[in-house]
Amino acid sequence: MASEVKIPAMGESITSGILASWHVKDGDYVESGQAIFELETDKITSEAMAEVSGTITLKASEGDEVEIGQVVAVIDESAKAPAGGSAPNTPEPASSAPLAPTPAAPNTPGKDLPPSPAVRRIAGETGIDPKNVTGTGKDGRVTKGDMLAAGSQSPSSSMPSTAPARIPSGERQTRKKMTPLRRKIAERLVASQHEAAILTTFNEIDMSAVMNLRKQHQETFVDKHGIKLGFMSFFVKAVVQGLQAVPAINAQIDGAEIIQNNYFDIGVAVGTEKGLVVPVVRDADSQSFAEIEMQILDYAKRARAGKITMDDLEGGVFTISNGGIYGSLLSTPIINPPQSGILGMHSIQQRPVAVNGEVVIRPMMYLALSYDHRLVDGKEAVTFLIKVKECIENPTRMLLNI
């Protein structure tokens, strides 16, 4: 009996994907529950498992674009597992026939040594082949001086060269198709720039209070919850208070209507090798710092392992992006449609600031709020940022919800 392996449904908005890789080879014996291929869509990357055991015959190749429901392999359930667990398609041993001897190249000291960058540059400019130049360097290596001397002796050296510059061996460029996730990111970013009136406003915050609080309670927090207290939970809580103070940022435009969101599902951008994904912390207003930290850590691990699901990514009302982990000092983040705002965090730097008339050194961070000016006025954007600043610089406000 043969069982078909089909591309599974991934959500209503996903109709196709790229078969990124096979974890098995044609003719392999697979076990039920074994991961057999990886599918990459414009939103998530996921693994498909074999539903039955048997010998697999592949019907699609890596890199193919496949439709939802398409048959990509067939598993013959009547096949028996090979003895000892070895795959049935064991490659044939290599031929033991002796290879014909390769003639030895003539001994030309210096000619087989790779030319220096200066020699390659002059060769590209003049068209002179270093192999045709007598080298005076160590072991007969062709030097820059040898190339210049050869150029001055060449009858055509005074004439501009019409020959194309020589390209060193090896590829200077490679070309590959964009992944569905990268294509979707590109489409959404361009659409966001075209459809929204994006404006960015900035502020800076003193991270001393949060850093001292973390230092004071970190050990106890880890002992109780088994996870470190990071910065992101503070910013998630601060953003919630900012949205409560400025509801316009927790809204979105739908045609000629404004949809006001009365919940606080906050997206947290996570960078992966294949692109940026934004899993959502649900009902952040009712979650503790520990619960938020656990969710973010779990999302980050699953995103980088390609285990994120569609449900993890949908429904956010606002996004936080932390470019500071990569060393960014300042940026203007782009809104994640249909949301109306995104907060950009940046690196913490020790900088001189004025406090009570005195210059002191404090750990400072720049914040950037990009917002849709069609819906949010400048006053509301500034009010939101100041609220976030107040919460971070005095974190007890968040604990008391004031």
Q: Which of 76, 285, 298, 373 is catalytic?
A: 373
Strand order in the sheet with 29-30: 2-6, 71-76, 54-58, 29-30
Q: Write the DSSP assignment of 293-315 as a string of letters.
A: HHHHHHHHHHHHTT---HHHHS-
For residue 268, what pLDDT is reported? Answer: 95
Task: Judge whether 2-84 and 180-400 match in fold.
Answer: no
For residue 158, what pLDDT is reported? Answer: 42
- Alpha carbon dihedral 133, 139, 145, 148, in 10-degree steps, equals 10
Which CATH architecture best describes the domain 180-400? 2-Layer Sandwich (3.30)
- Alpha carbon dihedral 231, 377, 264, 206, in 10-degree steps, equals 20
For residue 13, what pLDDT is reported? Answer: 62
> Domain spans of the chain?
2-84, 108-168, 180-400
For residue 243, what pLDDT is reported? Answer: 97
CATH match for 108-168 among 3.40.50.720, 3.30.1460.30, 4.10.320.10, 3.40.250.10: 4.10.320.10
Report the predicted TM-score, pTM, of the whole model to 2 decimal places. 0.64
**pLDDT by residue (tens digit) across 313-358?**
888 999 999 999 999 999 999 998 899 999 999 999 999 999 999 9
Of 4, 398, 19, 11, the closest CA to residue 209 belongs to: 398
Say which residue the tokens 């982990």 belong to. 325
**Tens place of pLDDT for every residue, the chain, 402 residues?**
788 898 888 766 677 788 888 999 999 999 988 989 888 876 677 788 899 999 999 999 888 888 888 999 999 888 888 876 544 444 444 444 444 444 444 444 555 666 665 666 677 667 788 788 777 765 677 776 677 677 655 544 444 444 555 555 557 888 887 777 777 778 888 888 888 899 999 999 999 999 999 999 999 999 999 999 999 999 999 999 999 999 999 999 998 999 999 999 999 998 877 778 899 999 999 999 999 999 999 998 988 887 888 889 888 999 999 999 999 999 999 998 899 999 999 999 999 999 999 999 999 999 999 999 999 999 999 999 999 999 999 998 787 766
CATH match for 2-84 among 3.30.565.10, 3.40.50.1110, 2.40.50.100, 3.40.630.30: 2.40.50.100
For residue 109, what pLDDT is reported? Answer: 52
Q: Which of 64, 112, 129, 377 is catalytic?
A: 377
Q: Which helix (H) or strand (E) holds 355?
A: strand 349-355
Known catalytic membership, residue 373: yes
Known catalytic membership, residue 377: yes
Q: Write the DSSP assignment of 211-240 as a string of letters.
A: HHHHHHHHHHHHHHHSS---SHHHHHHHHH
Cβ count within 10 A of residue 307: 15
For residue 112, what pLDDT is reported? Answer: 61
